[in-house]
C-alpha cells in the first residue's frame, strides 16, 4: 500500500505542472465565459452588470442569429455527408496494390496540410470573376462567368465545396484504415458464390465500416457547427449575410460589436447543441452500427 501510495504521489507530482496550466488557461476561461454569458460586457469597461438570462432570451429575437442557425444547418447537412462520400470513394480507389500507390495516398491526404486560411485564399483566386480559373474554364465552353463567393445564392455552396476539398484527405485516411481491416476471406467467399464487386462492397464492406462512419459523422459534425476560418478568409459573412454562420456571428458580436456577454451566451448555446447532437449520434451508433 505504501509503494502504491508513493507511486500515486509521484505521478501527481509529475503531472501537476500540466494540470495547473490546463486549469489556468483551459478550465478557468471556460468558467469565466460562463459567468460572462449572464452579464453585459464590452470587454473594455470594468463595469459588467448582471443581466441574468437576458442574453439567452435575446437570441430568440435576433433575426441575424436565426439566419446564422439556418446557414449553419445547411452547411452541416451538405458538408458532412459530402466529405464522407467523397472520402469513401477515394479511399476505395486507393485501397489496392498498384504502382506508386503511396504517392497517390500522400496526394489524397495533402489537402490536410493546407491551412484553412490558405484554402480560402486559393478559392478566392480560383473563383474570381475576372481572372479566376473556374470562370476561365466556363468561358472556354461558352458559359457565362459566375460571381461565386460574391453571390448571396452561391457563396455558401462554394464554401461547402472548399471545405469538402480540405477535409477529404482526413476522411480518406480514416476510411483507408477501416478498409484495410476488412477480412479478405469474406470477399473471396462472396466472389466464389458469384457476387459482383459492387454487391460485395455494399453487403460486406459498407456494414463493416460502421465504426469509421460514426467517428467521421461525429468529428465532422462538430467541426461543421464551428465553421469560422473559411468564412473569415473568404466572405466575412458574405453579401446580405449569406454566409454568416453561428461562430462567425459570435466572433462579430464579441470583437466587432463588443457585446461579449451576448457572444458568450451564443457560445454556450452552441456548446449545448453540439453536446446533444453528439450524444444522439453515439446513441444511434450503439443501436445501428456494427461493432460500435
Please say whether the beta carbons of 289 and 211 come within 8 A. yes
What was the pLDDT predicted at 292?
44
Q: What average pLDDT does this structure show over 268-272?
A: 96
Average pLDDT over every residue of 49-58: 95
pLDDT tens digits, residue range 205-234? 988 998 999 999 999 999 999 999 999 999
pLDDT band at 191 (very low <50, low <70, confident <90, very high): confident
Tell me the mean pLDDT in the region 24-36.
Answer: 92
Find the mean pLDDT for residues 15-19.
90
pLDDT band for position 190 (50/70/90)? Answer: confident
Asked whether the beta carbons of 261 and 38 are under 8 A apart, the reply is yes
- pLDDT value of position 284: 82
Per-residue pLDDT at 1: 66
- Residue 35, pLDDT score: 95
Structure confidence at residue 169 (pLDDT) = 94
Helix (H, G, I), strand (E, B) or coil at 100: coil
Average pLDDT for the chain: 91
Q: What integer pLDDT is reported at residue 247 of this predicted model?
A: 97
Is residue 3 predicted with pLDDT exceeding 80?
A: no
Q: Helices marked H in the chain — which ranges?
A: 2-22, 28-36, 54-60, 63-94, 101-109, 116-126, 133-140, 155-179, 184-192, 197-200, 206-208, 210-225, 229-234, 246-255, 260-288
CATH number 1.10.3720.10 is the correct assignment for the domain at 56-288 = yes
Residue 229's pLDDT is 94
Short-list 224, 222, 245, 228, CA closest to 119: 228
Quick check: helix, strand or coil at residue 39? strand
Q: Which of 206, 175, 202, 191 is nearest to 288 (CA)?
A: 206
237 C-beta neighbours (distance < 10 Å), count: 20
Question: What pLDDT does 127 receive?
Answer: 95
Give the three-state DSSP class for 143. coil
Examine the pLDDT at 75 and tell me if it is beyond 60: yes
Q: What is the pLDDT of residue 290?
A: 52
Question: Given this model, what pLDDT does residue 235 score?
Answer: 95
Dihedral sign, Cα of residue 61, residue 62, residue 66, residue 72: negative
Q: Is the pTM of this model over 0.75?
A: yes
Question: What residues does each domain of the chain span?
Answer: 56-288
Amino acid at each position: 500500500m505504501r509503494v502504491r501510495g508513493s507511486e500515486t504521489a509521484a505521478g501527481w507530482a509529475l503531472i501537476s505542472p500540466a494540470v495547473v496550466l490546463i486549469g489556468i488557461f483551459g478550465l478557468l476561461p471556460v468558467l469565466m465565459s460562463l459567468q460572462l454569458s449572464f452579464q453585459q460586457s464590452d470587454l473594455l469597461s470594468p463595469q459588467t452588470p448582471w443581466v441574468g438570462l437576458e442574453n439567452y432570451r435575446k437570441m430568440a429575437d435576433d433575426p441575424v442569429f436565426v439566419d446564422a442557425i439556418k446557414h449553419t444547418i445547411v452547411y452541416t447537412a451538405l458538408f458532412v455527408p459530402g466529405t464522407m462520400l467523397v472520402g469513401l470513394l477515394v479511399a476505395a480507389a486507393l485501397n489496392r496494390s498498384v504502382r506508386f500507390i503511396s504517392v497517390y495516398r500522400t496526394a489524397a491526404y495533402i489537402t490536410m496540410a493546407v491551412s484553412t486560411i490558405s484554402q480560402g485564399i486559393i478559392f478566392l483566386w480560383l473563383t474570381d470573376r475576372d481572372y479566376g480559373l473556374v470562370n476561365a474554364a466556363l468561358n472556354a465552353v461558352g458559359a457565362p462567368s459566375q460571381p461565386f463567393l460574391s453571390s448571396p445564392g452561391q457563396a455558401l455552396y462554394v464554401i461547402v465545396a472548399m471545405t469538402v476539398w480540405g477535409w477529404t484527405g482526413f476522411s480518406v485516411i480514416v476510411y483507408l484504415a477501416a478498409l484495410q481491416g476488412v477480412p479478405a476471406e469474406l470477399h473471396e467467399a462472396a466472389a466464389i458464390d458469384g457476387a459482383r464487386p459492387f454487391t460485395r462492397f455494399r453487403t460486406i464492406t459498407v456494414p463493416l465500416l460502421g465504426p469509421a462512419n460514426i467517428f467521421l459523422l461525429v468529428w465532422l459534425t462538430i467541426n461543421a457547427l464551428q465553421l469560422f476560418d473559411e468564412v473569415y478568409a473568404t466572405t466575412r459573412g458574405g453579401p446580405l449575410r449569406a454566409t454568416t454562420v453561428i461562430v462567425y456571428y459570435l466572433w462579430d458580436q464579441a470583437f466587432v460589436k463588443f457585446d461579449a456577454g451576448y457572444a458568450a451566451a451564443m457560445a454556450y448555446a452552441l456548446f449545448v447543441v453540439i453536446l446533444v447532437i453528439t450524444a444522439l449520434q453515439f446513441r444511434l451508433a450503439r443501436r445501428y452500427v456494427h461493432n460500435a
